[in-house]
Structure 1
Amino acid sequence: MTAKKTASGLAGFFTKPKTFVAGAILGLVVATVVVTRFFLPAKEVVHEVETLSPSVVFERVVAQNELVCASQNYAIVDKATDTARLFDLIDLPWTTNSFWYRYCGTIKAGVNLQTAEFSQDEGGANKLTVTLDQPYVISNTPDMSKSGVLEERNNIFNNIDVSDVDAFQRQCIERSEQEVVDGGLYNEARANAEANLKAMFAAALGDQAELTVVFREA
């Protein structure tokens, strides 16, 4: 009795072609996934590396327009006086006023990359030269939270005017920029400009690139 049931069951299975085909397809898919995942070697992912030429690197550097290379904070404290004059010839001593003023700010020096020039030694592909103008003051920004009048001595015959304060501030700006020259900030800017450019070219081209930075005569 059992043998007959088994035989009739197998006969029923083979008499259902749709079920048989579906099972065969499923088995084929599973076998393909297993073989692909565990037995076939994985494909290597190839990353294309962008090759940069020295001239392309230089163009990208120039696109930055200017390069800030050095900065310093300053605080100028000084006394300003003003005396009325008779016919612009004689000082009137009883008309003298004065005020102490503190002027603070930050001055930044850098180089103009728009005027930079690039050359490459024909005998050595890795010998590069960048020529720059001398550093200049890129910005001189006052810190008005720290600047202002410290003490004033007004005069009823010659009141302190806003124009007097404005004139003194202009003198402080000129003085701060002169101190940049005297204090060697431009020397620091030249050294930092050279170091920064060499670092940029080395990062793009590798350590084999020999970059020389030349500054034009003022």
Structure 2
Amino acid sequence: MDEMEEGMGALKAKLGRILTKPKVFIAGLALGGLIVAVLFISIFNNGKAAGAKEATPNTLSPSVVFERIASQNEMVSASQNYTIVDKVTDTKRFFDWFDIPFTENSFWYRYVGTIKAGVNLETAEIHTSKKKLTITMDEPYVISNTPDMKKSGALEERNNILNPIEVKDVTAFEAQCKERSESEAIKDGDLLEEARVNAEANIRAMFNSAFGDEYTVDFDYRK
């Protein structure tokens, strides 16, 4: 009995890392004016620190501003918090013909995390035509999917001595459900659209900070 209790304790500790199928997605969090200000200050301070010749806003060129924006490599422009609650069951089968009676195990789990999306600035390009700037970029994408393990955990567990929950099964389930959470965020479409809108607004704001309304800024996305 002591060995079984130790095994159950180890299993519960492992379950603290489980990802499960999305059931509830909480509305996303837009990153707005603050990120523009922070990025703008960081970009131009970095340019000065690297030994670049200081230039006043009147002598800066769009290409110089763009190079400093693109040097940040990627921009996180949308963030969505989500909560996932799901029940997982497993039953041993006899040669895939039928379920073996009295071998079912199951657990309920709550998984909380944050998905961030944005644009890749490293592959972005700028084209200038008189007073019009066109920024060409790849489509927005998911940058990270980070669990909050302080809020995540097993809600209920029903183990079975005839079919114990194994570590390898939990590990496979983690990977599968992380993919599901991202798939749901992308399928819904709102997160990537929010990332697109916010990225455009942030980049426009940085050009406006350098040149005022001297240039119009448009965006083109690669297919």
TM-score by length of 1: 0.72
2:168 equivalent in structure 1: 163
- The Cα of 1:88 is off from its aligned counterpart by 4.4
Given candidates 191, 194, 219, the residue that maps to 1:188 is 194
2:26 equivalent in structure 1: none
2:155 equivalent in structure 1: 150
The 5-angstrom pairing of residues 20-35 of structure 1 reads: none
Any idea what the Cα deviations from partners look like across 1:158-204, whole Å, max 9, x if unmatched? 01122232233223211211221233100101101110110011111
Given candidates 34, 56, 73, the residue that maps to 1:49 is 56
Secondary structure of 1:204's counterpart equals helix
TM superposition outliers: structure 1 runs of 4+ over 4 Å? none
1:62 equivalent in structure 2: 70
Any idea what the Cα deviations from partners look like across 1:83-132, whole Å, max 9, x if unmatched? 112234432132111111111101100000111011011xx2x2110011
Distance 1:149 1:163 in 2: 17
Q: Would you say 1:72 and 2:77 are equivalent positions?
A: no
User: Is the 1:76–1:172 Cα contact (8 Å) retained in structure 2?
Assistant: no
Distance 2:111 2:185 in 1: 15
Larger RCO (CA within 8 A; separation ≥ 6): 2
Given candidates 115, 123, 140, the residue that maps to 1:115 is 123
Distance 2:207 2:185 in 1: 29
Structure 2: gaps spanning 5 or more residues: 1-54
Secondary structure of 1:55's counterpart equals helix
- The Cα of 1:209 is off from its aligned counterpart by 1.1
User: Is the 1:103–1:172 Cα contact (8 Å) retained in structure 2?
Assistant: no
Range moving further from structure 2, 188-197 or 81-90 = 81-90
User: Is the 1:75–1:103 Cα contact (8 Å) retained in structure 2?
Assistant: yes
Amino acid in structure 1 at the alignment position of 2:215: A
Q: Would you say 1:210 and 2:206 are equivalent positions?
A: no
Amino acid in structure 2 at the alignment position of 1:58: F
Range moving further from structure 2, 146-155 or 167-176 = 167-176
% identical aligned pairs: 63
User: Is the 1:103–1:169 Cα contact (8 Å) retained in structure 2?
Assistant: no
Aligned length: 168
Structure 1: gaps spanning 5 or more residues: 1-47
Q: Would you say 1:104 and 2:104 are equivalent positions?
A: no
Amino acid in structure 1 at the alignment position of 2:186: V
Amino acid in structure 1 at the alignment position of 2:174: Q
Distance 1:203 1:181 in 2: 32
Q: Would you say 1:92 and 2:97 are equivalent positions?
A: no
State the superposition RMSD in angstroms. Answer: 1.7
Distance 1:163 1:200 in 2: 48
Secondary structure of 2:102's counterpart equals helix
